[in-house]
């Protein structure tokens, strides 16, 4: 069993996976001691592991890690490593997490939690018995604008909620000549729903509480076959492909309605074939006394409207991100409204929150999502798949067992 790092003793971290999201985790750890308060011990950037040796070595050099390792097993076997991010294909999450926990290492796993609902339930069971910190990477919880909207909702400023409408529209799969990577395998629910739908579902529950049932679900695939790649595919990047085509096994788009535990209704749509929208997470949350709206393509602001007494001034107002919002003060080198914001900062805040938990920092950031939280997201996804297979029937989402 790994012990809590002593005060002043470095926390040793590693990242398994050197692709697009893996590099984001690696950069996040590098910057954790530049944000927020004191109390976190020094961080030792120990290793980047990837089966692609060239990719791993480049990431280790780029982000200042001591070495590149050829496999995740090498990380699990290294007794000097305290905390690890898992940032590889979804089907590998469970075996890697089990090995790391058995080795006494703290684990931050990328979303979705696993490649199947069976594996996700096993990981939630593992968390209940683990004597280490286990967490899941839902970075949008660290957006100053999204966290501010959550504060508006929890403070009752919008009144009783009447509708949540969420969408995550991306265009990374619009090109039919794009390579058949692991993202296009795994069966219904593992495509756009698992990849980007997991984020909008978690964002909805973060703001409005748990989803208890879904209905009216529809899944579709616009590009049924894609060319096989000739080499490694990194993130959503293009890659050389062969003339041979392989079958796409999961959905390009999905839509459904949801009922929250409060009785609130929600509408959701996700797509990876949404032309012209590179990273289109967006939502509207409406209540009897106000509304708020967010679009990730404009991450440094949100729209807010409430019950203003003078009809001449009613309407949505642009609220610019600044030190009045969560994560901004102490999280940006230039603490001034209007300086922008984006994914890189959210990964830093997530890494800091995870290591705050690992090191037992006295005044930590809000804790990361747990394996149990991420299992709930996968239960929602599973319910959406079941609804789509049964003509849009209502399907209840089972509650995650109490810890």
- Contact between 193 and 387 under an 8 Å Cβ cutoff? The reply is no
pTM higher than the cut 0.85: yes
Rounded Cα gap, residues 351 and 108, in angstroms: 9
The pLDDT of residue 3 is 37
Q: Which numeric CATH code is attached to 11-140?
A: 3.40.50.720
Q: What is the C-alpha separation between 158 and 148, in angstroms, rounded?
A: 13
Q: Which of 351, 300, 337, 393 is nearest to 22 (CA)?
A: 351
- Other beta carbons within 10 angstroms of residue 257's beta carbon come to 18
CB 19 within 8 A of CB 236: no
Sheet-wide strand order for 83-86: 67-69, 43-49, 11-16, 83-86, 106-110, 134-137
Domain ranges in the chain are 11-140, 144-333+378-385
How much is the pLDDT for 6? 44
SS3 for 389? helix
Tally Cβ neighbours within 10 Å of residue 6: 9
Q: Is 342 helix (H, G, I), strand (E, B) or coil?
A: coil
Contact in structure between 349 and 35 (CB atoms under 8 Å): yes
A 10 A CB-CB count for 9 gives 13
Q: What is the pLDDT of residue 399?
A: 78
Res 134: pLDDT? 98
- The three-state secondary structure class of 32 is helix
Dihedrals φ, ψ of 318, to 5°?
A: -80, 120
* Top-level class of domain 144-333+378-385: alpha beta
Determine the pLDDT at residue 59: 97
Sequential pLDDT tens for the chain (403 residues): 233 444 578 999 999 999 999 999 999 999 999 999 889 999 999 999 999 999 999 999 999 999 999 999 999 999 999 999 999 999 999 999 999 999 999 999 999 999 999 999 999 999 999 999 999 999 999 999 999 999 999 999 999 999 999 999 999 999 999 999 889 999 999 999 999 999 999 999 999 999 999 999 999 999 999 999 887 777 676 778 889 999 999 999 999 999 999 999 999 999 999 999 999 999 999 999 999 999 999 999 999 999 877 877 788 999 999 999 999 999 998 888 888 778 899 999 999 999 999 999 999 999 999 999 999 999 999 999 999 999 999 999 987 566 5
Q: What is the pLDDT of residue 4?
A: 45
pLDDT at 34: 95
Same fold, 11-140 and 144-333+378-385: no
Residue 187 has a CB neighbour count (10 Å cut-off) of: 13
């Amino acid at each position: 069993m790994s012990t809590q790092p002593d005060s002043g003793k470095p926390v040793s971290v590693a990242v398994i996976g050197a692709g697009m999201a893996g590099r984001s985790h690696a950069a996040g750890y590098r910057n954790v001691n530049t944000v927020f308060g004191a109390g976190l011990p020094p961080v030792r950037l120990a290793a980047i592991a990837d089966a692609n040796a060239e990719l791993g070595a480049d990431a280790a050099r780029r982000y200042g890690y001591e070495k590149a390792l050829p496999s995740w097993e090498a990380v699990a076997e290294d007794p000097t490593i305290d905390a690890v991010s898992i940032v590889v294909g979804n089907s590998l999450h469970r075996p890697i997490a089990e090995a790391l926990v058995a080795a006494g290492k703290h684990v931050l796993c990328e979303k979705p939690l696993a490649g199947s609902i069976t594996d996700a339930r096993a990981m939630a069971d593992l968390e209940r018995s683990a004597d280490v910190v286990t967490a899941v990477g839902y970075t949008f919880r660290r957006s100053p604008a999204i966290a501010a909207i959550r504060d508006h909702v929890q403070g009752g400023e919008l009144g009783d909620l009447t509708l949540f409408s969420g969408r995550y529209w991306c265009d990374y799969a619009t090109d039919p000549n794009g390579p058949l990577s692991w993202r296009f395998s795994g069966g219904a629910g593992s495509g756009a729903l698992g990849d980007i739908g997991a984020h909008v579902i978690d964002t909805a529950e973060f703001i409005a509480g748990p989803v208890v049932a879904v209905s009216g679900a529809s899944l579709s695939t616009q590009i049924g076959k894609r060319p096989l790649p000739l080499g490694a595919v990194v993130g959503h990047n293009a890659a050389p492909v062969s003339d041979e085509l392989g079958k796409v096994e999961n959905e390009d788009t999905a839509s459904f309605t949801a009922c929250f535990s409060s009785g609130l209704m929600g509408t959701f749509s996700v797509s990876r074939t949404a032309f012209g929208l590179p990273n289109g997470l967006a939502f509207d949350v409406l209540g009897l006394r106000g509304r708020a709206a967010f679009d990730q393509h404009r991450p440094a602001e949100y729209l807010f409207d409430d019950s203003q007494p003078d009809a001449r001034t009613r309407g949505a107002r642009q609220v610019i991100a600044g030190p009045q919002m969560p994560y901004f003060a102490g999280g940006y080198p230039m603490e001034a409204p209007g300086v922008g914001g984006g994914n890189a900062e959210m990964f830093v805040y997530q890494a800091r929150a995870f290591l705050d938990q690992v090191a037992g920092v006295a005044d930590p950031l809000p804790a990361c999502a747990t394996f149990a939280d991420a299992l709930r997201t996968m239960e929602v996804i599973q319910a959406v798949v079941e609804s789509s297979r049964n003509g849009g029937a209502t399907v209840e989402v089972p509650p995650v067992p109490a810890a």
